[in-house]
Structure 1
Amino acid sequence: MQYFVVSQNNTPVGTNLSYEAESTKQIPIRENIFHMFPVSQPFVGYPYNQCAVVGNGGILNKSLCGAEIDKSDFVFRCNLPPITGNARKDVGSKTNLVTVNPSIITLKYMNLAEKKEKFLKDISNYGDTFLLLPAFSFRINTGVSFKVYQTLKKSKVRQKVLFFHPRYLRRLASFWKTKGVTAYRLSTGLMIASVAIELCENVKLYGFWPFSKTVEEIPVSHHYYDNKLPKRGFHQMPKEYSQMLQLHMRGVLKLHFDKCEIP
């Protein structure tokens, strides 16, 4: 995991960092960029015992899994999902790491121009979390990701920014291609589930259900907070889910897609 996130000890000043999906393009690491990186990998205390990876599937609605999720030693979430109000009883609130797709910053928060305060208010709900961004996947992501870092630093908030290391993402994509997942991009959920397997002794996935109905044929929304579908051809959700099921059957992780028991 020494290349999970970009850090000062794996990406020193003077090096050129190759983009994950545009490998012929590089960005020179100068002092102004270097100081954005943590000195070393922030998760030196791993392996954690019990980890929860919380997807955003509509299967979480009325699951009452919030309390169980919050008991985990480490909780991963994907792309700034809502965890307040009525959602909390189903999805919990504890968050140790949450991913941020740069498109969310651009579209929902207007590139932090007009809606910076709303962004800061929203991320305050996650407590002392790390925000993980793919700054070096595509060149178009870099400026937006850096702006998130600068906004948090100027605002002196509790949350910290990390950047996926492009080498880690390239290796992850190559690994899953050998398993038949050949989509243009891996989903964030599969990326974070893969990270959790490396960082944790026991991994439980909640909210991973890429189907429009439950096994009882009850309609279910795509997300627990809306029914917006992903772009066609961008991910291979059925193939990804098939791989997760195989990991579940082998005992590598546990997929949870039912209601949680209330003690």
Structure 2
Amino acid sequence: MVAYAICINIIRLLVEYKMNRWLRKLCHGILPIFGVIAFALWIFLFSTSDRECYVFRSCDVLCDKSYKNCFEKDYTLVVFQTPLTGEEVFRQMDHCSNNFIEKFLLPHPSNSQPKILPCPISDFDPLYATLTRHKKCALVGNSGILLQSKCGRTIDSFDFVIRGNMAPVIEYESYVGTKTDMMLLNDVMINVLAEVLSRGPRDDREIEIMKTLKHFRNTILWYPKNTEKHISQLKSIVRGLKKNNFSIHIAYSLIDIYRNIKWKYNMWRYPSSGLYMLALAESICEEITLFGFYPFERDPFDKEIRSHYYDKSFTRYKSWAHNFETEHGILESRHSQGLLHLKYQC
């Protein structure tokens, strides 16, 4: 029995030896070939599925077809052309996964300055466009101080008017004007708007929002933050706009510009919607005038004012997230430098 066991072990070792030799040959010969094929296939599928990321990461600035309106990637807005299809995709560069392509296939020479490479945004998708540049822009805040201004006609005279968070204009025309080229949506309003468009308005504020939407003519609704967190709301808004045949464009930022704005304005807390509006205006406008940017409870004559001009009461809105007084100091500093104009009376 012992001799039999010894013979069996010797045979098993010989078989394993031959198998090991065969496996070594396989590893040195056939497997590398399969590996190269699999790697090439992975690259093809990876770059195809993230084609838009490949295009954008190979560019420094994004332009329209004429190359007259070009913007840095950080402040490029992707604007969906009308009519809306209901199939819109809100892909930002922050969500792209092809770091391999960026790192290995598109490196900048280490011994030279990277060249500025402009690309037409139509390379991303022929349905998309960028914004156009403007001479004079008005940014309209929501402070109750607007009710003392009578600036409506002045605001409407600007080339491009930006407002925030579905602030109403109907019944306030003499104070805030009616022209609305762009409306910024914050996180709260994007949820509200999605609900209102899907189920209809239920209270006075929601009825006001629907009236505002009906008033828009080729207005751009802009969401500047991370689209991945609100993709369902964005798609719901698109479906609602299409269903109601509203004359409205949808836009989102190519990159979530939250960190850029904090760095640009040296902010410790979360930047408010007003700073997002200002950052955009500083990239597309030659001259900027701000109306209704006033965070204080009383006007310069010590008269109490509403937090929002459309509020029915004097309820104060306190926020731990924003430091409105600090932001107002930033605006005043830029005003004194001649970089923008703060206007309280017209």
> Does 2:183 correspond to 1:94?
no
Q: What's the CA shift string for 1:153-188, capped at 9, x where partnerless?
A: 3433211111123343332222223xxx210x2111
Residue 6 of structure 1 aligns to a residue in which SS? strand
Q: Which amino acid aligns with 1:249?
A: S
> Does 2:154 correspond to 1:68?
yes
* Equivalent in the alignment of 2:11: none
Q: Which sections of structure 1, spanning at least 5 residues, go unmatched?
A: 19-25
- In 2, Cα distance between equivalents of 1:90 and 1:109: 28
* Equivalent in the alignment of 2:221: 131
- In 2, Cα distance between equivalents of 1:129 and 1:7: 11
Q: What's the CA shift string for 1:196-251, capped at 9, x where partnerless?
A: 12211111000000000011111111110114544521111111111100000000
Q: What does 1:83-162 align with in structure 2 at a 5 Å threshold?
A: 83-85=169-171, 87-107=172-192, 110=195, 112-115=197-200, 120-134=210-224, 136=226, 139=229, 141-162=230-251
Q: 1:198 to 1:27 in 2, by over 3 A?
A: closer
RMSD between aligned residues: 2.8
> Does 2:340 correspond to 1:253?
yes
> Does 2:319 correspond to 1:232?
yes
Runs of 4+ in 1 over 6 A off after TM superposition: none
> Does 2:304 correspond to 1:219?
yes
- In 2, Cα distance between equivalents of 1:196 and 1:27: 27
Residue 204 of structure 1 aligns to a residue in which SS? strand
Q: Which amino acid aligns with 1:75?
A: V
Q: Which sections of structure 2, spanning at least 5 residues, go unmatched?
A: 1-70, 81-88, 99-123
Residue 77 of structure 2 aligns to a residue in which SS? coil
Q: 1:175 to 1:135 in 2, by over 3 A?
A: closer
Q: 1:38 to 1:241 in 2, by over 3 A?
A: farther
- In 2, Cα distance between equivalents of 1:231 and 1:166: 29
Considering only CA atoms, is the larger Rg found in Structure 1 or Structure 2?
2
* Equivalent in the alignment of 2:288: 203
Q: What TM-score results when the alignment is normalised by the length of structure 2?
A: 0.61
Structure 1 residue 109 displacement after superposition: 6.2
Q: 1:187 to 1:90 in 2, by over 3 A?
A: same
Residue 238 of structure 1 aligns to a residue in which SS? helix
Instruction: Work out whether residues 223 and 251 of structure 2, in 8 Å CA contact, stay in contact via their aligned partners in 1.
Output: yes
Structure 1 residue 64 displacement after superposition: 0.7
Q: Give the number of the structure whose residues are more often helix, by fraction.
A: 2
- In 1, Cα distance between equivalents of 2:317 and 2:228: 19
* Equivalent in the alignment of 1:163: 252
Q: 1:151 to 1:2 in 2, by over 3 A?
A: farther
Q: Which amino acid aligns with 1:51?
A: C
Identical columns (%): 26
